Amino acid sequence: MDFSFSILLALFLAAISASFIDSIAGGGGLISLPMLLWAGLPPTLAIGTNKAQSSFGTSMAVWRYHRAGLIEWSALKWAIPMTFGAALMGSWTLTLISSQQLRLLLPWCLLAVAGYVLVSPRLGTDPKPARLNPLLFTLVFSLLLGFYDGFFGPGTGAFWTLALVSLAGYALPEATAYTKVVNLTSNVASLLIFTIKDQVLFFPIAAVMIAGQLIGAYLGANLAIRHGAKFIRLVFLGVVFALIIRLLLTQPN
């Protein structure tokens, strides 16, 4: 496949925007995946390539959050392998069945997430006691959201962040950092499946977008670290509502 300079430039700029948003509140796929489809990639190849380029941006965000001391790695010792295994199963399942029914349900789930955040203005401002046993929380959400991210994906970061704040007692900055680690885990697992299936266009598309992802993720994570919970909450709500609108507009007739 041949791509003009203008297409590659548009994908580079889209990757900067996507990773900037994604490093703060998730939802970068709202920008990057439609752009890959616009560039002419078939859907499965677009999804696989999107996993490849976004993995690098998420890695940058994880590194920045780690440097800022926001990642408690001991709390992730079971979440990482469980999420990885569940995402492998989700991506493999996607190659066998349709995700259409999930697409129909997702906007309403996200609307409930946004509604809960709106009516809870101090949600995630400060750490609170966990409402769920940490091991049970890890087991349930790593398997559920790991599988979902491998299988379909949109909104995974929002679901993780809300669960961490409302059930695990995290403040928003720490919840965002935790979310980036498990998102990276499920992205890498999915990328492995898509690579085996030869559904990743590494050059030139992924290569160009990786450069943009690294820039955007660095800038976005720095802003989130500097401005904290209130800033993350605003971006989080914006991303969730944008994702709802996007999914509702693309519902099949």
How many Å apart are CA 184 and CA 180, to the nearest integer? 6
Question: Which string of DSSP letters, residue by residue, matches 123-161?
Answer: TTSS----SS-HHHHHHHHHHHHHHHHHHT-TTHHHHHH
The model's pLDDT over 108-136, given as tens digits with 9 standing for 90+, comes to 766 776 777 676 766 667 788 888 999 99
How many Å apart are CA 198 and CA 15, to the nearest integer? 22
pTM, two decimal places: 0.86
How many Å apart are CA 73 and CA 222, to the nearest integer? 20
pLDDT tens across the length of the chain (253 residues): 789 999 999 999 999 999 999 999 887 887 898 899 899 998 878 888 999 999 999 999 999 999 999 999 999 999 999 999 999 999 888 777 765 665 676 577 667 767 776 767 666 677 888 889 999 999 999 999 999 999 877 778 888 999 999 999 999 999 999 999 999 999 999 999 999 989 899 999 999 999 999 999 999 999 999 998 888 888 888 888 887 887 788 766 5
How many Å apart are CA 196 and CA 212, to the nearest integer? 25
Domain boundaries, the chain: 5-249
The model's pLDDT over 165-207, given as tens digits with 9 standing for 90+, comes to 999 999 999 999 999 999 999 999 999 999 998 989 999 999 9
Q: Which residues contact 249 (CB under 8 A, 6 or more apart)?
A: none
